[in-house]
Amino acid sequence: MTKTTAADEIFSDESSFYGDDDEKAQLEAQVSSYDPEPFWVETHQKQLSTIQQQLRAPPPRAKRSSSDVSMEDASPEPSSTPCNQRGKTEPIARFLSRLPPSTTGSASVGPWIWMFNPHVSPSRRSGDVPTLLRKGRELLQEYENESAVLREAHDRSGAKTTAALTRKLNPMRKELEKGILDLARETGVTDGKWMLFPTVDRVDEFWGIVVRAMEKGELGDAAKVATDDGSGSGQSRLICVYTPDFGDVEDVKRVVSKLVDIGLVGKGPRGVYYKSDAFTHLEINSKNEYGLKASMYSSREMLEGK
């Protein structure tokens, strides 16, 4: 007769370790319905860490010629050059002439052209975006439910102003913002970016300045610029200059100060804004229904007293 141990009893199919029958059925249904393909096909290839790793992968070694000239430092063959970012040994001038954002179409290279800081370690991660999205949407839905109750009560009260309602909603909004940013740190989605909006006729100039500063290690860890989507409606193009941690205020300030020094940002009232990737992933834009401020910092606030 086989002796039954305490561990066997705990982990047996009849034990409650796995939950009751209803809970097990629910978990099994979730597992059977989960499809990982969308993450690997759509999300994974767009993550900054994936793109950065592809860029830093060693190029195929060129074949040695019959001459005595070493091919150890040969440039990668054209087929190994990333189509929407600078090749590992590609000269800056060639990169900029190959992919001018003013005329490069999104149909050929995608929505963005990328430039990475060659002085930064490639170990940077983009975090657990799927978990951020799932839990972040739960936080947003919880806020919507609670605020709806308050709004209904306010409507029934017959109050002539919304002052009392606003006083109740503001602390909830602050708590929601804190919850999302805490979640961003927990999931490692700590990237953020300064956003520039040059006009189409100046986007090549702005992008060239950003790329050269990035090459020198003077800005953040990455930058991207929007390509031409073919609609003909855009009067400006977005350039994002990234930092790895939205909570590192000194680094965020250092980058925007450099953007001022190289002439891309002015010190006047019309400044630029910094937004966390967490808010971008959750599609929290200006005039969002939650009443949240979409950006974390402004250049005007950062540069006061500089």
Residue ranges of the alpha helices (H) in the chain? 6-11, 21-33, 37-38, 48-56, 92-98, 106-109, 129-157, 163-187, 203-215, 249-261, 277-281, 299-303
Determine the Cα angle at 294 with ends 292 and 296, to 5°. Answer: 105
Token couple for 30: 């979730």
pLDDT of residue 267: 63
pLDDT of residue 122: 61
Cβ neighbours of residue 171 closer than 8 Å, sequence gap 6 or more = none
pLDDT of residue 157: 83
DSSP states along 90-157 = --HHHHHHH--TTT-BHHHH-SEEEEE-TTS-TT-----HHHHHHHHHHHHHHHHHHHHHHHHHHHHH
Cα 254 to Cα 154, 189, 225, 259, 299: the distances in Å are 45, 21, 21, 9, 11
CB-CB contact of 174 with 230 (8 Å) = no
Amino acid at 165: L
Tokens 């002015």, residue? Answer: 266
Token couple for 274: 């910094």
pLDDT of residue 129: 95
Q: Is 206 exposed, middle or buried (0-12, 13-18, 19+ CB in 10 A)?
A: buried
pLDDT of residue 162: 86
CB-CB contact of 189 with 129 (8 Å) = yes
Separation between Cα atoms, residue 297 and residue 306, nearest integer Å: 15
pLDDT of residue 175: 96
Q: Per-block average pLDDT, block size 10, for the chain (306 residues)?
A: 48 48 55 40 46 45 32 36 83 95 92 92 75 97 94 85 89 96 96 94 96 95 92 83 96 96 80 95 92 94 75
CB-CB neighbours of 248 under 10 Å: 14
Does the pTM exceed 0.75? no
pLDDT of residue 1: 52
